[in-house]
Amino acid sequence: MMAYSVNKVQTAFRLPLNLLSRLKRNAQLENKSLNAYVEEILTREAKVEWPKLPKGYSASADDLFQTKGHVPSPTKEMMASDPKLAYIWNKGA
């Protein structure tokens, strides 16, 4: 009988056959199960945590993140001219 973590759910994805084959081969080379290997990749790639915005403030992902996984540091002038930006930036500090 297998034990399942309460914090995990089973899900399904459609993948191209050649991608699935490469994932299986890479998992085997690293002596990991396919599940553990894919989970590791997804965890590494999903490292961005979205900031909590103040109530009523709306911003798109493009407004906050210019490149994947990187939050550009606002200048002092930007923070002085945009109190919402200063609030969001300082909330994460």
Q: Phi and psi (nearest 5°) for 76? A: -60, -40
pTM: 0.47
Which amino acid, one-letter code, is at 13? F
Domain boundaries of the chain, sorted by first residue: 13-47, 49-93
| Model confidence at 44: pLDDT above 90 | no
Query: Mapping DSSP to helix (H, G, I), strand (E, B) and coil, where does residue 20 land?
Result: helix
| Model confidence at 54: pLDDT above 90 | no
- Per-residue pLDDT band at 67 (split at 50, 70, 90): very low
